[in-house]
Chains A and B, each alone.
Chain A
Amino acid sequence: MRSFGTNEFLFVLAAARWTVVLALIAFSLGGAFGAIVAILRISPFAPVRLLAAGYVQLFQGTPLLMQLFLVYYGLGLFGLRLDAWTAVVIAYSAYAGAFLGDIWRGCLQAVSREQWEAAHSMSLTYLQTLWLVILPQAARIAIPPTVGFLVQLVKATAVASIIGFVELTRAGQLMSNATFQPTIVYPIVAALYFCLCWPLSLWAQKLETRFRVGNAIGAGI
């Protein structure tokens, strides 16, 4: 009978890189997406604001697993031939975009109203104000909760295992099934996630105390 040894541990460890890669890609694409959402959310045009708000509501009001199912099963029905990676990346980027968009909107709005008015009186345009005055200040506030969200994103990638995407959790499950030693395998999987997430969490906390802003208590699951 096969038991959980070095070979099995290395398989699980190697799969952890897909967790990291997926989280990083989703973070980058979701970040770009989230930036657009955040800026649209504070746009002077109501329909644009509402559309962005609807998008955030939709993704924050439905389970990630369902979003994943819909993208995974759904897009193919429309004639888009996507491999598993692309489908998963799309789903996670859209998810990250909604959450980051919401976090960053809060940061943009935290910059006081007077700043806008001051910029306006200096006859800066809307975009100039946003780019030169508001964004630099908001970015400072945004760093701690953004790092906090990265932790949430790393953990969220575990859900992709349910649709058979081989990352840390799925690798653990396959090894647990091959060795029949779940009592050893799952705590190891949990420990590996902890090793990935804890340094980020500590970093987020440190940034938060340094910037003395907001609360990075950060909701998550």
Chain B
Amino acid sequence: MSRATRYLAAAAAAIFGLALATGQADAQTLDRILKEKKIRITAQVDSAPFGILDKDNKPTGSEIETARQIAKDLGVELELVQVTGPQRIPALLSDRADLAISSLSITTDRAKTVWFSNPHGALSIVIGAGKNVNISGPADLAGKKIGMTRATLEEQEVPKIAPPGTNIVYFDEHAATQQALLTGQVDAIGAAAFLITDLAKRAPAMGITSKFTVRTAFYGIAVKPGNMDLLQWVNTWVFVNKHNGVLAKIYETHTGVKLVDLPSM
């Protein structure tokens, strides 16, 4: 056994050695994208109305359209990198995507790991449940089973307002969280208000509504730390498209709600 352990240790050391050898600075990312004529952007397709599959099972939604617009304005091909909620940030860090455009709310915690652009949209986190569930404020959460998706704003915010005795359970992605609500595996879920509205529309029998708002937030486009050139271009893009109304149009088409005034960082 001790022999085996020693060899394991040696193997681990070899892996880390490889890590040091290959971990070198990225060249200018924007240049690379322009040269390769391809940008890779995260696509989360289980998060209506930001990203979902349409009737022909093609990705659509406000964030998908934002990604398409960005690729178009860069004049490069778009490669959508399908991710689940918890992978939006790891996808950037592990260099699987150049940009994360997946309704990523801007928080100071996340900003320790990725760099955010100026916001290009707004959302609110609510508690949503069927008509038979009696919730009107945070106090009513006690004794109920609340589902939410890991690595989301709700995961961060709902526990802060939940009274003792709230049973919060976590799923790895929105699809599972929503199915848990619809199949009665949880009493309520924490999610973006739009998602609840969309869910209510698609499953009318349950009479799902937003019970109360937990927090509102702005979401932005994220890049891997260090990709200054790309971030600068994205910020410029957000600025331009805020003023020419493209962002508002995308947002309103998919959410059915007018886009609020977007502040700048």
Residue among A53, A162, A166, A177 making CB contact with B178, cutoff 8 Å: A177
Q: Chain A residues with Cβ under 8 A from B182's Cβ?
A: 180, 182
Contact B24 A174 (CB under 8 A): no
Contact A72 B55 (CB under 8 A): no
Stretch at the interface among A24-32, A74-82, A134-142: A74-82
Q: Chain A residues with Cβ under 8 A from B93's Cβ?
A: 73, 76-77
| Chain A residues touching B, range | 35 or more
Q: Is B82 an interface residue (CB 8 A)?
A: yes
Contact B202 A2 (CB under 8 A): yes
* Residues of B40-82 whose CB lies within 8 A of A: 40, 45-46, 52-53, 55-57, 79, 81-82
Contact B94 A164 (CB under 8 A): no
Q: Assuming the A-B contacts A58-B11, A78-B23, are A176 and B175 also in contact, with contact meaning beta carbons closer than 8 angstroms in the complex? A: yes
Contact B53 A176 (CB under 8 A): no
C-alpha gap A55/B45 in the complex (Å): 37
Q: Is B215 an interface residue (CB 8 A)?
A: no
Q: Chain B residues with Cβ under 8 A from A176's Cβ?
A: 175, 179
Q: Chain B residues with Cβ under 8 A from A76's Cβ?
A: 93-96
Q: Is A163 an interface residue (CB 8 A)?
A: yes
* Residues of B192-228 whose CB lies within 8 A of A: 202-204
Q: Is A201 an interface residue (CB 8 A)?
A: no
Question: Closest CB of chain B to A3's CB: distance in Å?
Answer: 11
Q: Chain B residues with Cβ under 8 A from A173's Cβ?
A: 46, 175-176
Interface string of B83-107 (1 = CB under 8 A from A): 1100100100111100000000000
Q: Chain A residues with Cβ under 8 A from B178's Cβ?
A: 177
Contact A84 B82 (CB under 8 A): yes
Q: Is B258 an interface residue (CB 8 A)?
A: no
Residue among B22, B52, B90 making CB contact with A80, cutoff 8 Å: B22
Contact A54 B94 (CB under 8 A): no
Q: Is B13 an interface residue (CB 8 A)?
A: no
Contact A77 B19 (CB under 8 A): yes
Contact A74 B203 (CB under 8 A): no
Residue among B56, B79, B83 making CB contact with A164, cutoff 8 Å: B83
Q: Assuming the A-B contacts A72-B94, A76-B94, are A174 and B179 also in contact, with contact meaning beta carbons closer than 8 angstroms in the complex? A: no
Contact B94 A11 (CB under 8 A): no
C-alpha gap A84/B79 in the complex (Å): 11
24 CB-based A-B contacts, threshold 8 Å: A1-B202, A53-B4, A54-B8, A58-B8, A72-B90, A72-B96, A73-B93, A77-B19, A77-B94, A77-B95, A78-B18, A78-B22, A80-B95, A81-B95, A83-B81, A84-B82, A84-B96, A164-B84, A165-B82, A173-B176, A174-B45, A174-B57, A177-B46, A180-B182
Residues of A within 8 A of B (CB): 1-2, 7, 11, 50-51, 53-55, 57-58, 72-84, 87, 162-166, 173-174, 176-178, 180, 182
Residues of B within 8 A of A (CB): 3-4, 7-8, 10-11, 18-19, 22-24, 26, 40, 45-46, 52-53, 55-57, 79, 81-84, 87, 90, 93-96, 172-176, 178-179, 182-183, 202-204
